[in-house]
């Protein structure tokens, strides 16, 4: 999902786990609102990464099902989730493979 795919009424989940509602075209511009605070979408790149804190990167987006109260998260369903890339060294990969297989691993390059 890209920033341009966001619509008013969708919910976004930060890497920290906090959920915020997307509001576009407000008097403050395009914003994310939750917990009595708001955050401008101008701080985000097209891939939904936050420029000032990785804790505010958007890792999931939800859409409302039946609308009862748009300011409540209940009833929303996930429509996108960020696929995280796992980085590790060769030694870490070797250890993980040994842990999974239960056998010694020799890595050749």
Where are the chain's structural domains?
A: 3-101
- The Cα–Cα gap between 91 and 72 comes to 46
Residue 101 Ramachandran class (φ > 0 left, ψ -120 to 50 alpha, else beta): alpha
Averaged over successive runs of 10 residues, the pLDDT of the chain (109 residues) comes to 96 95 96 93 97 96 72 78 90 92 90
pLDDT at res. 82 = 95
- Residue whose tokens read 């250890």: 95
pTM listed for this prediction:
0.74
Instruction: Give pLDDT, residue 48.
Output: 98
């Amino acid at each position: 999902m890209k920033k341009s795919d966001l619509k008013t009424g969708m919910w976004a989940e930060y890497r920290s786990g906090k959920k915020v509602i997307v509001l576009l075209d407000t008097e403050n511009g395009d914003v994310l609102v939750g917990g009595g605070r708001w955050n401008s979408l101008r701080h985000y790149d097209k891939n939904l990464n936050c420029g000032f804190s990785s804790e505010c990167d958007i890792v999931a987006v939800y859409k409302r099902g039946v609308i009862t109260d748009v300011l409540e998260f209940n009833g929303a369903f996930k429509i996108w989730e960020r696929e995280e890339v796992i980085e590790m060294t060769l030694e870490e990969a070797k250890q993980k493979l040994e842990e999974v297989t239960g056998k010694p691993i020799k890595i050749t390059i």
